[in-house]
Amino acid sequence: MRFTIFQESRKGSRRINQDRIAYTYGRDTLLMVVADGMGGHAGGEIAAQICVRLFVERFQQEAKPILRNPLKFLQDTMLRAHAALGSYANQFSMLETPRTTCVAVVVQAGFAHWAHVGDSRFYLFRQGTLIGSTKDHSKVQYLVDQGIIGAHDVAQHPDRNKIFSCLGGLVDPVIDLSKRTPLRNGDVMVLCTDGLWSVLPQHEIAHWLTSQPVLKAAPAMMREAEKRGGPDGDNLSLICVRWGPETLTDEPSTTITETMGLGEFETQIDRTITLTDRKGQQRDLTDDEIERAISEIQSTIQKYRK
């Protein structure tokens, strides 16, 4: 595999960042995952943390050296994350189960496979044209589908944050799975949370990432999105990949995996811990409380990774 990859998460104007993002790859397969903890529910960042880490650990356990069925892996891991969040809430007698959106992508054998729940998005661009994407599980997307509002009204609609499917909810999540989609050199894949797509329209994202090298365009785009978010700006997160050799720069930015050993993985995962307490109060935890929370999260993941 040859690709150029970038990831970044910013808290915007919020006190804490409830987004969690990660990518990991071996010689023959790549996983990317983005989760947006739902701020109106206790422990949104706990939900996102459990979801992302469960994906990474299951991927590294199952990709030997490739996944047998990428779409089944994506669906099964989301269902396991949903169950893990319910288990975590029961274990600690939480009044509400931690909840999160999620979008995840697996690339192997030159094909992309993706799944999502909620309103974290995936875009696949080819020469600046959108050829694949997710459809939000949200009230405003329903209004668009019914012709009540236009697609351009979604980002600023007062009900934009009303999600009807998530991981950790009271009912089983609606998980949408993609078709097996072939990639070409130069294709750009984007995973992002609503803090990004709500302030940068799809055509702008395409222009940013298809007209400049990814490692130059992506951080500049994140800075612009945070600026546009202003004093009410949400957390914003992005993972983007240009597939194949990076042709828009003379700098050696392309990742080449052919020389990696079997069972060897490279991983980039957000390790920032800004956990609220279990009652949903936003206060600074002590070092001991943070260590205990991390241990409890990891213990929950271990139960659902196999």
Structural domain count, the chain: 1
What is the mean pLDDT of the segment spanning 103-124? 98
pLDDT digits (tens, 9 = 90+) for 251-275: 567 898 988 998 899 999 876 656 6
**Domain residue limits at 90:** 2-304
What are the pLDDT digits (tens) for 45-59? 889 999 999 999 999
Instruction: Find the helix or strand (DSSP H, E) in which 35 lies.
Output: strand 29-37
Query: For residue range 183-201, what is the model confidence (pLDDT) as tens digits?
Result: 999 999 999 999 999 999 9
Answer whether 0.85 is exceeded by the pTM. Answer: yes
Contacts of 192 (CB under 8 A, 6+ apart): 34, 120, 121, 123, 205, 236, 237, 238, 239
Characterize the bridge pairing of strands 129-133 and 266-269.
unpaired
Rounded to whole angstroms, how far apart are CA atoms 121 and 251? Answer: 29
Q: What CATH number did the domain enclosing 261 receive?
A: 3.60.40.10
